[in-house]
Amino acid sequence: MTSITIAPRSRPDRWSCTVELEDDDGSRTSHDVSVSREDVARLSPGATDPTDLVRRSFEFLLAREPKESILRTFELPAIGRYFPEYESTIRG
């Protein structure tokens, strides 16, 4: 199982999130994810920060690829370019 640790930092129009993924064997990866306030409002209505959305997004990714294959730096909506079902799955 992979543990997910998220450290969001608020910016005027977005959050920058450092996401640490660690497997039971101690192997780790680190990712920097940018999430706009509009992305949070669209994908997680009513949320006041991106933590839950980012966690669910990484769970979505980990169900489809190993942590080592996840981009190290990206904007959250980029997931939809690789996995077209992302937004409907996350909203649903």
First to last CA, the chain: 24
Question: By residue range, what is the domain housing residue 17?
Answer: 2-91
Q: Which of 26, 27, 23, 47 is nearest to 35 (CA)?
A: 47
- The confidence score (pLDDT) of residue 18 equals 98
| Residues 4-42: tens digit of each pLDDT | 999 999 999 999 999 999 999 999 999 999 999 999 999
**Stated pTM of the model:** 0.95
Question: What type of residue is 68?
Answer: E
Q: How many domains are there within the chain?
A: 1
